[in-house]
Structure 1
């Protein structure tokens, strides 16, 4: 009986670790997210990026705030990988899985730019 409780606790613990917002990489902390297209004379487009948080399993256990923060953090991380320092968000959407209690996934789509300071 004790091993059953231990296994159950481990499964629940591992399942819920997906409920916190995705972490931002140290190098990506200075990446700025904007909702207006950057000035083309000061900024160079380097690529399209996507950030997402949540799925049908963890979404019901993740707060809406953490879904949004996680998606934005992933955008920053992806932008940093491309050498960008600004992300222009083009779209942000929330989805609900069938039978879920609410929002289960947030996805952000953006364009990454390298801008002169």
Structure 2
């Protein structure tokens, strides 16, 4: 029991000292473009819906709002890239606050992945 408690304390202290950084893109996904307007359907093929998220009730208060947004956007890129896409039309990007939190604890983006030929 003491070992588990020490591990929990070490984890919490470590997270609070260093914070949490944004999720990174997988190699190749950094080229996926994020847009706020629906792409030209004559040049783009719809591949599927994608969701990107960063943060939770534990790590959200320890992660900057900037990193929460960047991490969610990077996960959108990663998911589109897995589908073979090169563009994400972002339909929604929401920040949420857990009850009792100090600020934003989660950012989630929803979009549509496309493979565009331009």
With 16-25 and 67-76 compared, the bigger mean Cα shift is at 16-25
TM-superposition CA deviations, 1:39-92 (whole Å, max 9, x none)? 000000000000000000000010000000000000000000000000000000
| Contact map agreement 2:16 2:62 (CA 8 A) in 1 | no
Tell me the TM-score normalized by structure 1.
0.88
SS of the counterpart of 1:26? coil
Partner Cα distance (1:79, 1:62) in 2: 24
Match of 1:65 in 2: 66
After superposition, the CA RMSD in angstroms is 2.2
Structure 1 residue 98: Cα displacement:
0.4
Within 5 A, what are the aligned runs for 1:1-117? 7=7, 8-10=9-11, 12-13=13-14, 19-117=20-118
Structure 1 residue 32: Cα displacement:
0.2
Unaligned runs of 5+ in 1: none
Partner Cα distance (1:101, 1:11) in 2: 16
Partner Cα distance (1:17, 1:23) in 2: 17
Q: How many pairs were matched up?
A: 114
Structure 1 residue 26: Cα displacement:
1.4
Partner Cα distance (1:56, 1:23) in 2: 20
